Amino acid sequence: MTWLETAQSELQNGGLAAWLIYDFRGINPVMKRFLDVGNSFLTRRVFFLIPAQGQPTLLVHAIEFKSLPELPYKVASYSSHESLEDVLKDILPKGKVAMEYSPNNDIPYVSHVDAGTVEMIRGLGAEVLSSGDLLQAFSAWTPAQLEAHLKAVEHVLQAKDIAFEFVSLQTQMGNSLRETDVQKVITDYFDSHDLIYDHPPIIGFGPHAGDPHYSPVAGSDAYLEEGAVLMDIWAKLPRDDAPYADITWMGCYGEPSADLQTVWETVRDARDLAVKTIQEAYDAGRYPQGLEIDRATRDFIASKGHGEAFIHRTGHSIGNRHTHGEAVHLDDFETRDTRDLRPGIAVTVEPGVYLEEFGVRSEINLVLEKSGPRVTTDAQTDLIIIPAR
C-alpha cells in the first residue's frame, strides 16, 4: 500500500473529508515526509491537500509554480492573499479536515501549524481536526525495523550486564568508582559494535538517581557509595530507519534500605500494571489511549504514597532518529495524549519515583501487536545487589 492509499484509507475510516498539510519555510516536518519537490526552493506558503478520494492538490505561490518538477498531483497557484483564500475555497471539500494541530497544544509533537492558519481554514468553512491519529498510520514498524530493534535490545542488555559486572568487580577489588567510569564502559561497548547513541547513558549513584535526566560529567560526578545505582541505556543499529532500544535497570551497592526496597517494588509493579492495562484493553476489543495508561500507572503510584515524586510521563514512543519517537506517548501528565496505542507502534514503559536520597526507575520496551503488547526487553524483577566491602 502506498502512503497515499494509506492516508486515504485512514481518512475514510475516520470520517474525514481531507488532510491539509501546510508548511512555511520548513515549520512542518510532515510535509517533507510526503512531498518531494526535488531541488525546488519553496519560500512561500504551501498547502498539500489529500482528499479522502481522488487526486491530491498541491498549492504553491505563482512565482514558484514553474520551478516545480513534474508531479503526480494537481498543482494550483496563488499570488495575493485574496487569491490564496479564493483557491483554498475552491479546493477544500466540505466537512472535517485534518491538520498538524492539537487542541490546547495537548500533543506538541503534532502542533506544527500556527493558530492564524487554522483560523483562516476554519473561516473558509472547514472543520479543522488534529491529524495526530492519522499520522499514527505511518508510525508502525516494518518487519525489518522490528528486527533491527530486537538486535539493539540484545546490545543494550549486554551493555547493562557488562556495566554491572564491572561495578561488582571494581568494588570487590577495593577500587573507588565514579559514575563516568561506568558510563565509559558502556560507550566503549557501543563504539566497538558501531552502535549509535544520541547521548551517553545516564548513570546515577545515590541522590543522582533521583534526578531523572541527570548527566554525569567527569570531575563533578559522584563516587559510588552504598545505595541506589541507576543505569539508563539506549542505542540503535547504524541504519537510518533502525529504531532504538531503551532500558533502565536498578541496582544497589550494599543491602537496600527498607525505603529503597519498597519504592523499587512500587515502581516495578506500576510498570507491570501498565502492560496489563494495555492487554486488558486489547482483550476487550479496543485500542487504549496513551493518557489512559499513564493515568492507571500514576494512580497506582499515588496510592502507594509517592504520587508527587512521579514527575514525568509513564513512557514515550520509540523513534529511529531519536530515542523519543513522534507516535503516541503514555502521557496524561506532561501532555494529554489522546492518540491510540495501535498495532505496529512501539513504546517504553518507565515509571519512576524520585526522592532526595535516591530515585528508582524501571524501563522496558514493548511493541503493540494485533493481540496486544509484546515486551521486547527483559523486565527486571529484583534489584541487582552489589555486595559492599
Provide φ and ψ at 209, rounded to 5°: -70, -15
Instruction: DSSP letter for 135, please.
Output: H
pLDDT given for residue 40 in this prediction: 82
Round to whole Å and give the CA distance between 157 and 233. Answer: 9
Q: If we measure between CA atoms, which residue out of 346, 323, 377, 350 comes closest to residue 198?
A: 323
Per-residue cell: 310: 512521579
SS3 for 184?
Answer: helix
Is the CB of residue 42 less than 8 Å from the CB of residue 21? Answer: no
Round to whole Å and give the CA distance between 361 and 260. Answer: 11
pLDDT given for residue 86 in this prediction: 97
- The pTM of this model reads 0.92
pLDDT given for residue 235 in this prediction: 98
Residue count of the chain:
389
Cell 501528565 belongs to: 333
Q: Where in the chain is the domain with CATH 3.90.230.10?
A: 143-386
Q: If we measure between CA atoms, which residue out of 122, 127, 105, 111 comes closest to residue 18?
A: 127
Cell 475514510 belongs to: 12
- CATH fold of 143-386 reads Creatine Amidinohydrolase (3.90.230)
**Degrees to nearest 5, angle at CA 264 with 259 and 268:** 155
Round to whole Å and give the CA distance between 349 and 175. Answer: 35
CATH class of 3-136: alpha beta
Using 70 as the pLDDT threshold, list the residues of the chain that sit under it.
none
Tell which phi-psi region holds residue 246, choosing left (phi > 0), alpha (psi between -120 and 50) or beta: beta
Instruction: Count other Cβ atoms within 10 Å, centred on residue 109.
Output: 20
Instruction: Count other Cβ atoms within 10 Å, centred on residue 139.
Output: 18
Is the CB of residue 47 less than 8 Å from the CB of residue 19? Answer: no
Round to whole Å and give the CA distance between 59 and 74. Answer: 9
Is the CB of residue 78 less than 8 Å from the CB of residue 62? Answer: yes
Round to whole Å and give the CA distance between 42 and 31. Answer: 12
- Mind spelling out the 3-state secondary structure of 195-255? CECCCCCEEEEHHHHHCCCCCCCCCCCCECCCEEEEEEEEEECCCCCCCCEEEEEEEEECC
- Mind spelling out the 3-state secondary structure of 285-320? CCCCEHHHHHHHHHHHHHHCCCHHHCCCCCECEECC
- Mind spelling out the 3-state secondary structure of 137-152? CCCCCCHHHHHHHHHH
Q: Where in the chain is the domain with CATH 3.40.350.10?
A: 3-136
Round to whole Å and give the CA distance between 153 and 215. Answer: 22
Per-residue cell: 252: 544497589
